[in-house]
Structure 1
Amino acid sequence: MTVAILILAAGSSTRMGIPKQLLPYREHTLLSYTVEVAVASVCHPIIVVLGAYAEQIQPEISQYPIQIVENYRWNEGMSSSIQVGIQALDTVAEKPEAVVITLCDQPFISTQLVNQLVETYFTTGKPIIASKYAGNLGVPALFSSSFFPNLMNLNGAEGAKKVIKNYKHQVFSIPFSEGTVDIDTPAEYKQLQNLVENC
């Protein structure tokens, strides 16, 4: 029984002004760090969805054992990237039982957290395992394949959080307090750099 992981990295980083996927972080880039976390986890296959800067980003991650898919509709919002990713899972030989959905701009994601989502899924039997931070439930989150149709039906800017919210009685959560940190603006990136330097 396999659990896939879907890394969403198709956005245009409008608030950052440059592709945040390629920002240096811990001797990697934000995206390659997230890919390394995934590669070291129990999840496979690993699907990375690129979009706005696909040509620039692809060479940065092509050496990893991952499947890169391109979302040509990235400007329609996150839902389109999730749809492209779920469709890619249809093409793999061994159909996954579940998928972990994560972003490339949560710098404190860890292999331990990803593995905990998977372990919690198998121990609780709950079809959705979400990360909890700042009183909210969000990604990284795991969805049983029974929710793939729900993920395919998302629209526009809607992300996986919409499905978590709609089916919260079927959700089990695990704490991820650092999940509040995501990198959208130059100021947030500067804060992150200061934080990492002082660790």
Structure 2
Amino acid sequence: MKNSTTAIVILAAGASARFGSPKQNLMHNGQTLLQHAIKNALCLSDSVIVVLGANYDAIAHTVLNQPVTILHNQNWPLGMASSISMAVKEAGAAYPGITAILFLLCDQPFADAELLGQLTDTAKNSDKGIVASAYNHTLGVPALFKQAYFAHLLRLKGEEGAKKLLMQHADDVARVAFPQGSTDIDTRIDWEKFNQK
């Protein structure tokens, strides 16, 4: 059953500078990494927002047929906080009744629908305001923030991401184990290693 009160935001505005080309368009099992993330998100919610920025024209056409809201963050060089702020504002305006926002990246290929379901289920059954993925002895995305944290998300600046809030409010975070969260695609070497698994 889909979650009608949680919006899912896929942050995909980065320039993939370390990779050298838009990693959102990397093909795996017949889909781009961004299409894969969208597919998993749509398994959980009909309220899905994709934030694009750098390489917008090269990426947007690959997902225009998807039932998602696509945002073009032209301020992406200012840092991830600009994408988070844009998405939070859009979620509030476009999806009345939303009480939580789940953020994920398209370069964590193992962040599948099962994991997203564990995060939303944990949120339902916990009085904690944040639910985060736990890997490499730390907390990170995918991460879910309940409504009490929307204002905090809007106040993030520059390169600050959700990680800052996870650290500041560690006592209000429920954890979901995600051992494969350490696999993300930042460089060509990362991509080669992933494809060898």
TM-score normalised according to structure 2 size? 0.96
Supply the distance in 2 between the matched residues of 1:52 and 1:93 (Cα, whole angstroms).
26
Question: 2:100 — aligned with what?
Answer: 98
Q: Extract structure 1 runs of 4+ deviating beyond 4 A.
A: none
Question: 2:178 — aligned with what?
Answer: 176
1:12-23 alignment, distance < 5 Å: 12-23=15-26
1:25 positional shift? 1.3
Question: 1:83 — aligned with what?
Answer: 85
1:6 maps to amino acid: V
Question: Contact 2:108–2:183 (CA<8 Å) still a contact in 1?
Answer: yes
Question: Contact 1:2–1:44 (CA<8 Å) still a contact in 2?
Answer: no
1:90 positional shift? 2.2
Question: 1:29 — aligned with what?
Answer: 32
Matched, 1:10 2:4: no
Question: Contact 2:103–2:142 (CA<8 Å) still a contact in 1?
Answer: yes
Supply the distance in 2 between the matched residues of 1:79 and 1:107 (Cα, whole angstroms).
22
User: Aligned with 1:88: secondary structure?
Assistant: helix
Question: Contact 2:102–2:144 (CA<8 Å) still a contact in 1?
Answer: yes
Distance 1:44 1:146, change over 3 A: farther
Task: Give the alignment partner of residue 143 of structure 1, picking from 142, 145, 169.
Answer: 145
Question: Contact 1:89–1:95 (CA<8 Å) still a contact in 2?
Answer: no
Task: Render the CA deviation track for 1:5-40: whole Å, top value 9, x for unaligned.
Answer: 000000000000100000111211111100111011
1:148-159 alignment, distance < 5 Å: 148-159=150-161
Supply the distance in 2 between the matched residues of 1:118 and 1:40 (Cα, whole angstroms).
12
Percent identical pairs in the alignment equals 38
Query: What is the root-mean-square deviation of aligned Cα atoms in Å?
Result: 1.0
Task: Render the CA deviation track for 1:49-76: whole Å, top value 9, x for unaligned.
Answer: 0000111111111111100011110011
Matched, 1:39 2:14: no
Question: Contact 2:47–2:95 (CA<8 Å) still a contact in 1?
Answer: no
2:55 maps to amino acid: Y
User: Aligned with 1:113: secondary structure?
Assistant: helix
User: Aligned with 1:95: secondary structure?
Assistant: coil
Gaps of 5+ in 1: none
1:93 positional shift? 4.2
1:5 maps to amino acid: I
1:146 maps to amino acid: A
Supply the distance in 1 between the matched residues of 2:100 and 2:167 (Cα, whole angstroms).
18
1:138 positional shift? 0.5
Question: Contact 1:138–1:164 (CA<8 Å) still a contact in 2?
Answer: yes
2:12 maps to amino acid: A
1:169 maps to amino acid: D
User: Aligned with 2:61: secondary structure?
Assistant: helix
Gaps of 5+ in 2: none
